[in-house]
Amino acid sequence: MSREPRYVPVGPAGSVAEGQMREFVVDDVELVVVNLDGELRAFANRCPHQGGPLAKGRLEDGVIWCPWHLWQFDARTGRARWPEGYGRAAPYPLKIEDGQILVDVG
């Protein structure tokens, strides 16, 4: 049985500048929203390695760098780039409506 999506507003669409990422906490869910080439994507704000806060890392050349151990994740898919093939930053569905970022945290 599939679940119903539960999109909740996290902030204005313009609150994450292009080439930047920002942390949001909604309903006790910690997210990092990334603006890559004008497209927004949302991921869990925890590195799958040891839980490092991804939003405190850096975004460089389409790669999110974890601040704790420098693990790297593709900012489009969340897949690990280094070490290659080891997990992924958990993606969350995101959409923009009426100028607001909405993320499915259900």
Q: Where along the chain do its domains lie?
A: 7-104
Q: At residue 86, what are phi and psi to the nearest 5 degrees? A: -100, 90
Average pLDDT, the chain: 95
Stated pTM of the model: 0.93
Is residue 1 predicted with pLDDT exceeding 70? no
Q: At residue 21, what are phi and psi to the nearest 5 degrees? A: -140, 155
- Indicate the class that CATH gives domain 7-104: mainly beta
* pLDDT tens digits, one per residue of 11-54: 999 999 999 999 999 989 999 999 999 999 999 999 999 999 99
